[in-house]
Amino acid sequence: EVQVVESGGGLVQPGGSLRLSCAASGFTFSSYAMNWVRQAPGKGLEWVSGISGSGDTTYYADSVKGRFTISRDNSKNTLYLQMNSLRAEDTAVYYCAKDHTFGGVIVGDYYYMDVWGKGTTVTVSS
Amino acid sequence: QSVLTQPPSASGTPGQRVTISCSGSSSNIGTKYVYWYQQLPGTAPKILIYRNNQRPSGVSDRFSGSKSGTSASLAISGLRSEDEADYYCAAWDDSLSAYVFGAGTKVTVL
C-alpha cells in the first residue's frame, strides 16, 4: 500500500525550531517529488514547499522562505521539514503529500498531490 | 489572500447540480492545468479532478471540471449528502514559482 506518515509535530514557543518527518512506503520514493502542505485551524490549504526526487530542486511559499528548509533522505525513504524562527501563524496541521508524476522532476503544469498523510499538528505558542 | 479566488460557500438540495468557480490569472490558470481537491470533514484532502477535467479512477462521474481563459469550474451533479465537504482549486503559478490553492468552498447539502 502506498502511504506517507508524518511525525514530529508538537508545541513550540515563538522563535523556536521544529523538524517534521514523513516516512514513505509502498512506492519508489526517489522517483517522486514530495511536498508539505499545511492547514491552519479552521482555514484552507496552503502549499508550503516541494522538493524534486533527487533533492536538488526545491520550492517554497513566500510565507516560509528563509525560515523553513525541505530535504529528503532517499536511502531512508523519508522527507523532512526543518522549521526555524517559528511564528504563531505557523500553527497548523502539516501534511506530507506525494507528487503524482513519475520521474521526480517538478513540472509545474503536471504537478499535483495524489497521496496524502493524515498530518501532524504544530502549535506555536508561549 | 489567495491567488486563486473561490466563493466561500455553495449549497443545494439532494439531486441538484452545484457549480464552484475558481478565478486566477495568466500566471496560473491562464497557462496551467487546474486541479481540484475534496476534503471531507476531519480528513486529509483527496485529488478529485486533474488536468482541468480528468477524473482519477474511483472518482464518481458526477464530478466534472472545466476551464476557460483564467477561470475554472467544478460541477457536482446529482448532489448527495456525502458530497458535503470543502473543495479547493489549485494550480502552479509561474510568477511565484509555487503551487497555489484557492481559499476553498464549503459545499452544504440542504
What are the beta bridge partners of residue A120? A94
Could you list the pLDDT tens digit for every one of the 126 residues in chain A? 999 999 999 999 999 999 999 999 999 999 999 999 999 999 999 999 999 999 999 999 999 999 999 999 999 999 999 999 999 999 999 999 999 999 888 888 889 999 999 999 999 999
Q: For chain A, say whether B99 makes contact (Cβ under 8 Å).
A: yes
Q: For chain A, say whether B56 makes contact (Cβ under 8 Å).
A: yes
Determine the residue of chain B that is closest to A119 in CA distance: B44
Q: Which of A35, A59, A114 sits opposite B47 (nearest CB)?
A: A114
The string of pLDDT tens digits covering residues B57-102 is 999 999 999 999 999 999 999 999 999 999 999 999 999 999 999 9
Cβ contacts of residue A44 below 8 Å, gap of 6+? B2, B86, B88, B101, B102, B103, B104
Q: Which of A45, A110, A118 sits opposite B88 (nearest CB)?
A: A45
